[in-house]
Structure formats: structure tokens, C-alpha cells
Amino acid sequence: MKLSENFTLAEMLRSASASRMGLKEQFDPPEKVIGNLKELCEHVLQPLREQYGKPIFVSSGYRCPKLNKSVGGSKTSQHMTGEAADIQAIGKMTNKQLFDFIIRAKLPFDQLIIEFEDEFGEPGWIHVSYSSERQRGKILRAYKDQNGKTKYLQIN
């Protein structure tokens, strides 16, 4: 099922972890979740793809509650409602450049998070969310504190 011109439901549900764990509910989300994924694709991911001109890789879209818990996701993660995706650029654009590109493109988002920089300062991925109920436009940086707990620093 296509959610937008270049994004499919299958790619937004894909999870090797869920397959390995036998989490069938990951691949059969409620209609509300599918609607939210469609809105995320139509309002953020597809316009991003069109402006960037190259594919965008979705490393994590929807997560059923069991999968979200198993990967250590937030108890209030927008991934569980189909409102969020972790993405990376395909091509020569770095994740930091993709992050900056999304800001410059003025795409509507609820949260944009640059996640977990490595020792070279390159982020692991970009988290972007869209909610039909609110677009807070929050721009954050995720990092691990000294105890390994995920913290968020607002940067806008």
C-alpha cells in the first residue's frame, strides 16, 4: 500500500527485530496508525524527498508497543502512534546536512531530533515527527548522559 508517491506502508512497518521476535502486531497496525503514517509521509517525508531529489531511508517508522519497549523507546514515543520516523539521507548528504536541510526547507514537523553523534560528530540518524493535532516545531539534540540515560537538549 502506498502512503505517498515514494513511501509505502511496508517500509514504514519494516522491522527485523519484530520479525525475529515474532511480533505479528508490528505488521498489522490499527487504521489510526496507518492514517498517521500517511500524514507523516504526505506532509514531511514526501516533500523532503522531492526537495532533496534523492531517496530517504526510513530506518524506523511505526513501532508496536512491544517492539518500542524492546528497543528502549520512550514510553510516549510518537513511533507507537505512527507519527514519527527515524531517517537517513541516501547519497552524499550527511545526517547533519539532512537535519539542516529539513530546517531550511521549513517542512511542518512536531519534533526534529538529531540523534546520538559519534566520536566524529556525525549523528546516527534524524528523528522527525508530524502530528495533525500539533506542530510544535521543536528542534532537539539527543545525547547520553554520564549514566547512559538519553537526554534531550532543545536547540531552537
Please say whether the beta carbons of 8 and 2 come within 8 A. Answer: yes
State whether the Cα torsion 145-147-150-151 is positive or negative: negative
- For residue 97, count other CB atoms closer than 10 A to its CB: 13
CATH number of the domain bearing residue 139: 3.30.1380.10
2 within domain boundaries: no
> Higher-confidence residue: 5 or 73?
5
Nearest alpha-carbon partner for 44 in 118, 101, 95: 101
4 within domain boundaries: no
Residues of the domain holding 89: 9-154
Number of domains comprising the chain: 1
89 within domain boundaries: yes
**Which pLDDT score is estimated for 72?**
87
What contacts 11, CB < 8 A, 6 or more positions away?
58, 61
**Which pLDDT score is estimated for 120?**
58
* pLDDT tens, residue by residue, 109-146: 999 999 876 655 566 899 999 998 888 999 999 888 88
138 within domain boundaries: yes
104 within domain boundaries: yes
* pLDDT tens, residue by residue, 50-99: 999 999 999 999 999 999 999 988 899 999 999 999 999 888 888 889 99
Please say whether the beta carbons of 61 and 79 come within 8 A. Answer: yes
Pick from 8-12, 36-40, 42-46, 97-101: least confident: 97-101
pTM: 0.91
SS3 label, residue 105: coil
Distance between CA atoms of residues 14 and 92, nearest Å: 24
